[in-house]
Structure 1
Amino acid sequence: MPFTKVDFYLGIFCILLTQSLNLSFFYLIFEAVPEISGWNLYEVLLVYGFYTLNYGFFMFLFGNLRSLKGYLFSGEFETMLIRPIPPIFHIMISGFDERSIFQTILGFIIILYSFLNLNIAINFTTIGYVIVFMILGSLIFGGIAIIAETILFYTRYSFTPIDSIFFLAQFVKYPMSIFGTVLKKILTFVIPLGFLSYYPSNFFLNKVNIGFNVFLVEGIILCVLAIISKKFFDRGLKKYEGNGN
């Protein structure tokens, strides 16, 4: 069997193992306590499901962004500049992680399982809402990732905060209200990762009065991030000096 197939199936196994451990952790916690800060097991699973869904779809679309540093040092980025498509798009389509599709499907399954246990109707409307949240959330995460990776141009290809962004994203696996006001504001107004999971879940649960329309705010955030990330990346390109003599 070719190595690529071994790598694919090993990746699927690792995803299944990780998800199984995470879900087992939730069940063990809620076996001891019925609620955490007013959230029960299936409500937390809904948040986690949206995170898994959006993270998986984000990795499918934007996962190859993390290869930018390698492209810069190898000189391959220079070939992208002379091709008739935007370099950022070229980076995105230069590599896809097929395993992320499996993670996206798992996210859907967890969400549907949560819906069943929360007595939320599963129909074309709710499925449509989930798909829209998936698209908006993954694109918002993508805009944040582009800005983070573009910092490589400003630091002479030596530093990007992308790992810190992925670390922060770990917090939105869970309801943000359990972490306190400061972190919640950071993940809403500064680095809006809360729109991957917390706010889409609250749309269905209506547990917290957030005082705004989630779809409208996500659309506005996406438009702002699209403009900022494009301008930031275009300015970063002007600082690119190549990797040769």
Structure 2
Amino acid sequence: MFGKFQKKLCFYCRLYKKIIIAYLKIRLGYRLDFLVGFFGMLIKSASGIITLSIIFSNVPQIEGWSYYHLLFMYGLSSLVLIPVETFFVNAWALHTHIIQGTFVKYCLKPINTMFFYFSEIVEIKSLLQLFISIPILIISGKKMGIDWSFPLIGAYILYFICGSIILISIYVMAASLGFWLMNSMSIINFAGQVINFSKYPISIYGTFLKAVFTYILPIGFVSYYPMMLMLGKISYGNVVQAIVTAILFGSVGCLIWHKGVEHYSGTGS
């Protein structure tokens, strides 16, 4: 059983490597587009930081949270978004493939449809966000007095993985609704707006929304709970909750995707 799984995993790893190499060769022919995309990310990050600066130039704190607290959360959420924007950016184009009927090509190969579809586009330039997010975390973390011990770094790595799985699952679920709806872009845009809330402490939204962002749309594990752990306000047990939540959300995301593919492949047959 394990040997079969290992063999299949190796097959997909080799295949993904070939796909990335082929895609990079194509993208290298459009170097200007790469540079434009990089400067676009710089502008986007700068605008977020400027917005925070403007807000805190008028008020010293928001519900007890300082400028550096929110700057730290901004860096955490930007970091967790990197896997989404690098490897799952094709979610935004799914509704077009479904409407135009071109999604059928992903159903004809003897490989996993989710792997086939999302591996088609890899936005390598999104990895450059690392050079923006990490300095933000270092600077704001120092101002907050965070001690980056090995247990804390290990806990954050788990938070990062879980937060990425949660955000990926939210986008996959939102995009997958396009298999049943004519146009799912409004739902994907709504999901993006919800994810933007992860840049702010969920405690400022009230008891109801705090519960929503912890259990229903668990974006609290993207930046709020990691920051709370680093500040010593919650225990390491919250990491276990993040792992369980990520597993559940990831499973539901995969299930909705595959149910959608079954619905799509059966249409017109």
Aligned match for 1:217, one of 238, 241, 246: 241
Change (3 A) 1:107 1:243: farther
Distance 1:126 1:112, change over 3 A: farther
Deviation at 1:195, TM superposition (A): 1.4
Question: Counterpart of 1:162?
Answer: 188
* Offset at residue 151 of structure 1 (A): 1.0
Structure 2: 5+ residue stretches without partners: 1-27
**Alpha-carbon shift at residue 144 of structure 1 (Å):** 1.6
For 1:101, which of 127, 149, 162 is the aligned residue?
127
Residue number in structure 2 paired with 1:187:
213
**What residue identity is the alignment partner of 1:222?**
A
Cα 1:18/1:234, change in 2 over 3 Å: closer
Change (3 A) 1:71 1:40: same
Question: Shift in Å at residue 104 of structure 1?
Answer: 3.5
Could you say what the CA RMSD is over the residues aligned between the two structures, in angstroms? Answer: 2.4
**Corresponding residue of 2:20:** none
Letter in 2 for 1:42: Y
Question: Residues 138-180 of structure 1, C-alpha deviation per residue, up to 9 Å, x if partnerless?
Answer: 111111211111111122x433511111011112211122222
Q: Is the counterpart of residue 137 in structure 1 residue 163 in structure 2? A: yes
Q: Distance in 2 between matches of 1:12 and 1:88?
A: 27
Are residues 78 and 103 of structure 1, via their aligned partners in 2, closer, same or farther at CA, if it must alter by over 3 Å?
same
Q: Which protein is richer in helix relative to its size?
A: 2
| Contact 2:155 2:239 survives alignment (8 Å) | no
Unaligned 5+ segments in structure 1 are: none
Query: Is the Cα contact below 8 Å between 1:137 and 1:195 reproduced in 2?
Result: yes
Using the size of structure 1 for normalisation, the TM-score is: 0.87
Match of 1:201 in 2: 227
Deviation at 1:29, TM superposition (A): 2.8
* 1:231 aligns to 2:240 (yes or no): no
TM-score (norm 2): 0.80
Mapped partners of 2:102, 2:130: distance in 1: 30
Whether 1:57 aligns to 2:83 is: yes
Higher relative contact order (CA 8 A, sep 6+): 1
Question: What CA distance in whole angstroms lies between the structure 2 residues aligned with 1:241 and 1:90?
Answer: 15
Q: How far apart are 1:41 and its partner, in Å?
A: 1.6
What's 2:43 paired with?
Answer: 17
What residue is the counterpart of 1:240 in the other structure? Answer: 264
Tell me how far apart the structure 2 counterparts of residues 243 and 71 of structure 1 sit (CA, whole Å).
14
| Alpha carbons 2:174, 2:184 under 8 Å: kept | no
Give yes or no for the alignment of 1:113 onto 2:109: no
Distance 1:5 1:125 in 2: 41
**Distance in structure 1 (CA, Å) of the matches to 2:259 and 2:103:** 16
